[in-house]
A and B are shown apart, each in its own frame.
Chain A
């Protein structure tokens, strides 16, 4: 599913030749008592207007930290941005003063979080929390904000929205709470929506509903979406492109269909093979051996080499560069072509 021409392209001024949002060689470290953890080690990805990028990876791979760096809501300390650029409409957010970054949050780039119950303030009604952005940021009157809040809650398909404005987060089901989060993020009509594991805390049927909602909203509103997840199943139907993260790096970056058809990085290949399949029965489920790396002592060379079935001496010695495989897909593996051909065959 590549970008179709039917999708409305927003009038946002993306500089010619540039992307709406671009992360370039981002480095973030966490300074703790135990030592320095290098959480993000040169992440590079981009997002164009109206498209969906899935960022895939296991816990601790740096997906959320990258997102929080984009939003400018990293907790410092312990997190420090050590290098790189985050370009939004051509300007580097990392060099901008906090006040300017605050202005961008919510209006340009908005974010929804994994656990809506803890992400919403427990002591304020949901209508108040959605309307807060409208009153505080957009300068709406209480009555206007209330009206718009009801519209937003309708938009995310919360039944009887007008009656539920005064309800508190704990009075909603998990799925409805996540809808409230989405309504809140959309309040100021952002151009980029970052969804950080939006369905992880939900059960499967509700997960599907939320993913459908996000896909519909993206189509109707033309909002670009960064979908952070560790669940390959969630990604397939929604994303245009996938960036796979491992140990704070993008190890593979490809069009979603191309990646599913033939992964070009051993880590992605392992992830795909570990999905239970109905058509291959009676076999033991394969898994990636070993454990995610300790970020305070990342293995030399390719950080995946201790777990990799393709490992050679070069993997221990040299950090692989992104290998371009055509169609804009890249893989940070010394043997990307071999892995790709293996998978395709």
Chain B
């Protein structure tokens, strides 16, 4: 197990360099005149140009220059220096402000998914082909069929404007309550998937031979379902939830955008829109690490949950 984790960590180093290189290249290599892009429509004086050229090491040109700047950037990154955004703010400061918001949002979404999705999935499986099962099937298909870009404004309009139960936008320092509606919208998608997955998994396990054995031991149905079946059924569900949590930690561009939640996705989107290269690369680099780590945690968790799986 330890060797598996060490090997995965080494693979992560490679994956990290690979992804940052690609993002860095996409963001900067295509720019015609980075200094003009930085200034936008305004004219740039020769003195400013000379200063910026030196500051961003733009005097080295071509592929060599690109790698010079990339490794220069990586050098800072490895030391924990994410650099500055084009607006002059420290990217680490931006992330430090945005991440707690995204984290809260992720926790709300995850709670909604687990409390409603997994529970409803178990009930639907136990009462297979009943009213509850059919109702949840229709509802989940509906939710899965509607893209977030439609679902989020709809929820905002109905529950924020038409019937003002929740604040329609979150604002700069969002309270827990203000994050509830975007959290539910964000969670509804993974809720639907978790429900379908749980239902299928529980249904399958209810038919398993070990259930017949448990019955022949004279155990109560509550215990057979609650201990034997659930413990087996939740292996794929928890794996899914782990991956999903990794996704949620990366911020939700659309949901955060619609509800004006100042999280990671919101900042990333702003960076893309304003062509703020350092900001985008900085955020994505950190996201890559978060995502790789959460995947590693899921893999380890999988082995803990299922004793048949042993990593060499």
Contact = CB atoms under 8 A, between A and B. Distances in A.
B228 interface: yes
A123 B305 contact: yes
B213 A120 contact: yes
Interface in B282-312: 305-308
B229 to A, nearest CB: 9
Contact of A119 (B213, B218, B305): B213
A204 to B, nearest CB: 24
Given A113-B212, A115-B209, A136-B223, A121 B217 contact: no
A126 B223 CA distance: 17
Contacts of B217: 105-106, 110, 132-133, 137, 184
A104 B218 CA distance: 7
B44 interface: no
B307 A73 contact: no
Contacts of B308: 122-123, 168, 170
Interface string A149-160: 000000000000
Contacts, number: 76
Contact of B216 (A103, A111, A120, A121): A111
Interface centre among A68, A132, A170 (most CB of B within 10 A): A132
B295 to A, nearest CB: 22
B307 A105 contact: no
A185 B214 CA distance: 11
Contacts of B307: 122-123, 168, 170
6 contacts: A110-B216, A118-B208, A122-B308, A132-B219, A133-B218, A184-B213
Enumerate the 4 nearest inter-chain pairs by beta-carbon distance, A residue then B residue, closest first. Answer: A105-B218, A106-B218, A118-B209, A121-B210
Interface of B: 208-210, 212-220, 223, 228, 231-232, 235, 305-308
Interface of A: 68, 71, 73, 102-107, 110-111, 113, 115, 118-124, 132-133, 136-137, 168, 170, 181, 184-185, 188
Given A121-B214, A121-B232, A123-B308, 6 more contacts: A105-B217, A113-B212, A120-B213, A122-B306, A123-B307, A184-B213
